[in-house]
Structure 1
Amino acid sequence: MKLISFALLTLSLNVYAADYSFNSDQSKLEWEGKKVSGAHQGTVSLKSGTVQLEKGALTGGEVVVNLEKMTVTDLQGEWADKLVGHLKSDDFFSVKDHPNVSFKINSVKKLKGDQFSVSGPLTIKGKTSEQSFNVSVKESAKEVNIVGEINIDRTTYNIKYGSGKFYDPKTLGDKMIDDKFTIKLNLVAKK
């Protein structure tokens, strides 16, 4: 009898709390970096991650992004390869030494409807800093879709190349690169 009661209690708790694993193939992470003379766009790949929901509300999660699979989508051929190589170099993300970026949700604030504000440590290039951004969360019986956008100041993570904060903007001219870049996320997690 005790065993049956325990099983029923466990089942009822699972209705309210659920862990989902992100599907790397269905999830999309698109980046954009701007400079004086234009912008570049591309993608990075989700390596792994989970998200937790309780009674339909986001309660936690974490993701690991694989920078080794970075692409550029606004250029083709040699120019795209050249830019990817530069972004992976020590001027930017030092991918050889730091192939992954990670983010862990430490706090969640419910906003309107399916909107949440999430905060937690973001680690890029071996440096960690607290980040906050908004996401929308849609849950179905078998999956969760999380959509959001995060603006990241790259200089916080010791990525100074072409920054007007660290180099004379007059000397940089049209080679000056905006300190902030954007990641648009559309993540799909399966139960």
Structure 2
Amino acid sequence: MKKTIKNLAVVALVAFTSFAFANNDVEKKAVKVESSTVVWKGYKVTGSHEGTVAIESGSLSFDGDKLVGGEFVIDMTTIGATDLEGEYKGKLDGHLKSDDFFGVEKFPTAKLVFTKVKAKGKNSYEVTADLTIKGKTNPVNFEISVYGNKATAALKVDRTKYDVRYGSTSFFDDLKDKAIYDEFDLVTDLQF
């Protein structure tokens, strides 16, 4: 009995030590927020709008030269249109920040955390991540390419999963040409 307990203790110690040092080679590289961009594009029946939103903080994790993780915080208070000017830009920016869309007063940040990274090619990866917008978290899938100290990714987001319902035909009837499509695009160019 003593020998069994002793063997279990040794196995537990070895397992603990292995787990404790398993990620020793992972290097977290901070994203240079001032030289990285996130561009959004939303679509409606009568056209589209696009703009930017700033990265508050972010990092990509590497095991050697292989991408293994990532985490980003987005400053939703910076969301704004780049395809409009003057009064129309002010109106759209204000509307995007309102509770009709992203409610930035209550939810000033969004978050993206990689949960699975699978190599697809030499510089290409398939990523599954948890995206949190307006306090709601849902999985998203996208591809990311890494070249040197740069990375690019594009993803589609279904805004209705995050309680962004304004103008959505999924929730409102008879919108006709006022309808806004549920999915919007995000395109990122990262430097680290």
TM-score interval for Structure 1 and Structure 2 normalised by the shorter chain: 0.7 to 0.9
| Match in the other structure for 1:45 | 54
What displacement does 1:70 show?
1.4
Q: Does 1:113 align with 2:122?
A: yes
SS in 1 for 2:130: strand
Question: Could you tell me which residue of structure 2 aligns to residue 135 of structure 1?
Answer: 144
Aligned length: 170
Equivalent in 145, 152, 162 of residue 167 of structure 2: 162
Q: Write the distance in 2 (CA, Å) between the matches of 1:95 and 1:55.
A: 38
Secondary structure at 1:33's aligned position in 2?
strand
State the TM-score, normalizing by the size of structure 1. 0.86
TM-score normalised according to structure 2 size = 0.86
The corresponding residue for 1:4 is: none
The structure number with the bigger radius of gyration is: 2
Partner of 1:99: 108
Q: Which ranges of structure 2 fall in alignment gaps of 5 or more residues?
A: 1-22
Kindly report structure 1 stretches of 4+ aligned residues shifted beyond 2 Å. Answer: none
Identity percentage over the alignment?
38
Structure 1 gaps of 5+ residues are 1-12
Distance 1:71 1:164 in 2: 24
Q: Determine if the alignment matches structure 1 residue 29 to structure 2 residue 34.
A: no
Q: CA RMSD in A?
A: 1.3
Q: AA paired with 1:161?
A: Y
In 1, Cα distance between the equivalents of 2:107 and 2:151? 26
Q: Does 1:75 align with 2:80?
A: no
- Look up the SS of the partner of 1:101 in the other structure: strand
Task: Using the TM superposition, give the Cα deviation of residue 113 of structure 1 relative to its aligned residue in structure 2, in angstroms.
Answer: 2.1
Give the letter for the 2:154 counterpart.
E
